[in-house]
Amino acid sequence: MDLTFAFFYLFAAVLLGSGFMVVAARNPVHAVLFLILAFVNAAALFLLLSA
């Protein structure tokens, strides 16, 4: 397994987890923080894939 694949799976897992937490969070401030985390991980995936 290459290091790129490891980072891809790490960013994808954090993106899925934070996306779920956006919906599941009861506090709106926490939901926004999880949404920012999801956006950052999506941007990291785009950079990783050179898109």
| pLDDT, tens digit (0-9, with 9 covering 90-100), for 1-36 | 789 999 999 999 999 999 999 999 999 999 999 999
Number of domains in the chain: 1
Rg (CA), the chain: 12
pTM: 0.88
Instruction: State the Cα–Cα distance between residues 27 and 8, nearest whole angstrom.
Output: 29
On the question of pLDDT at 51 being above 80, the answer is: no
Range of the domain at 38: 3-48
CA-CA-CA-CA torsion for 39, 47, 51, 31, nearest 10 degrees? -10
CA-CA-CA-CA torsion for 30, 33, 35, 36, nearest 10 degrees? 180
